[in-house]
Amino acid sequence: MPYFDAASSAPLHPVARQALQASLDEGWADPARLYKEGRRARLLLDAAREAAAEAVGCRADELVFTTSGTRAVHAGVAGALAGRRRVGRHLIVSSVEHSSVLHAAEVHEADGGTVTQVAVDRAGAVTPQAYAAALRPNTALACLQSANHEVGTVQPVAEVADVCREAGVPLLVDAAQSLGWGPVAGDWSLLTASAHKWGGPSGVGLLVVRKGVRFAPQGPADERESGRAAGFENIPAIVAAAASLRAVQAEAAEEAVRLRELTDRIRARVPEGVGDVEVVGDPVRRLPGIVTFSCLYVDGETLLHELDRSGFSVSSGSSCTSSTLTPSHVLKAMGVLSEGNVRVSLPSGASAEDVERFLQVLPGAVAGVREKLGAPAPETAVRGDSLVVDAVGKLCPIPVIELAKVIGDVPVGGTVRVLADDEAARLDIPAWCAMRGQEYVGEEPADQGSAYVVRRLT
C-alpha cells in the first residue's frame, strides 16, 4: 500500500533500524556513571551528538536531545523568551507556523506577553520586509519555519535571519520538515527538529542554541542535556536518529531530483484529470516531496477514505471533515481553498509506478465523492437582481455547491447572498470566487451565521 504521508511521519530508515538494534545492547546504562557500562553509553551519546551537530551545522555543545520536536520547540521558545525578558516580551511568529510554535505563542500571550503574526502570500511565504516591519525595541524572539508542513513552501530563512540579526533579535527556526534535506542556511540563533520526520525513530527531537544566545531553561533544574532537556536519555533512539539523519542527508541531493520530478508530475496532471482544483503552495520554492491541492465540492474526509480504500495513504488540511473541525490555519492564512484538500508527501524511495496509479485513481475518487454529496436543491429567494441561498446548518462544501448551482440564475452584475454558519465558508466562498472569476463582495451579519455576498461577473 503506497504511503504518501511522509510529512506527518516518515517510514523508519534502514540505517535507523540497524543503529537502533545495534545500540540496544550497548546504550542501556546511565551515561552519567563512571563504570564501564556507563562509559560505553556515554561514548554512544557523545558520538550521536557529534554526528547530529555535523548534520545541522553547529557545535556539538550547542545541541541537546529532547523527547520530541514539539518539546524542543516549547523548550526553545520558553527558554529564549525567559533569557531575554529584560529586553521585552514581544514575540514574532509567522501565521503558518506548526501548531507547536503557535501553542507556545498562545501560552506566552496568556502570561502577559505580546505576539505578532506575520502574514504570508497566497503561496504561503513570508517576506523579510514583513519581519523587519514587525520588529520592535522590546522584541525578545522571532520564529520562522524553514519549510511549511502542509504545502511544502520553503521560507526565506537566511534573509529573515539577517534582518533579525541586524536588530539584535534571535531567530528560532523550526526545521522539522527540511533538515533531512540538508542544513538550514542563514545566521539563525536557535533551531529545532524532530527525528521521525526524516526516518528516525519517534520520541527524539533536537534543540540547538547557538553560543552567545541568552537562554534560561524553564521548569525544574536537571543535570542532563546541559539542563535544557530533563530526563534520562533514550540512547538507542538517539543513536538511530543521528545515524539516519546523516544517511538521509547523504542521499538527499539525488533523491530530491527524483521526488521533485514526481511531484511536478502530480502538480501538472491533477488539474488535467480533475476539474475545479487548486494546486497550492509555491511552485518553485518548495520541498521536493510535497504537493498539495484542494478540490471544489468535495468533502475532504470522505475523499481521504476513498483514496485509503484504493490503497493510498494521504493526509488533508481540509476544514470540511466534521462539525468539530475548523479550517486549517495554514490554508486560511494563505487565503486558498480548503475544502477537499489533499496533501501528498512522498517518502524516500516512492516509486513512479505508485504515483502513476494514484493519478489514475484520483479522478474517479473525486467524481465518486462529488456524486455522493450531490447538490441538494438549494432554498433560494430572488429579490430583484439579488438571490439568497439558505445554507444554514449545512457543512462545507454544501454552501459552495449551492452557490455554484445558482450563480447563473442572477444577471451579470447581480449578487448572491449565501447564508451559512459553517466557519469554513468564510474561507472557501472567497476562494471559489477567485477560482471562478466572480467578485467576492464581503461578509455581512445575519440572524444565523453570516451572509457571504458574491457578485456575478461572468
| Residues tagged active-site | 320
CA distance 230 to 222: 5
Residue 303: all three cell numbers together: 475523499
CA distance 2 to 112: 47
Coil, strand or helix: which one is 201?
coil
Contact 416, 453 (CB under 8 A): yes
Please provide the distance, in angstroms rounded to a whole number, between the alpha carbons at the two ends of the chain: 44
Q: Which helix (H) or strand (E) holds 354?
A: helix 352-373
Task: Point out which residues pair with 172 in neighbouring strands.
Answer: 143, 190
Pairing of strands 63-66, 205-209: antiparallel
Contact 277, 296 (CB under 8 A): yes
Contact 422, 396 (CB under 8 A): yes
Looking at residue 180, the DSSP 8-state letter turns out to be G
Looking at residue 196, the DSSP 8-state letter turns out to be G
Residue type, 304: L
CA distance 258 to 315: 22
Closest alpha carbon to 15 in 175, 306, 177, 245:
245
Contact 400, 297 (CB under 8 A): yes
How many residues does this entry show for the chain? 458
Task: Point out which residues pair with 255 in neighbouring strands.
Answer: none
Contact 127, 156 (CB under 8 A): yes
Closest alpha carbon to 326 in 390, 420, 396:
396
Contact 117, 134 (CB under 8 A): no
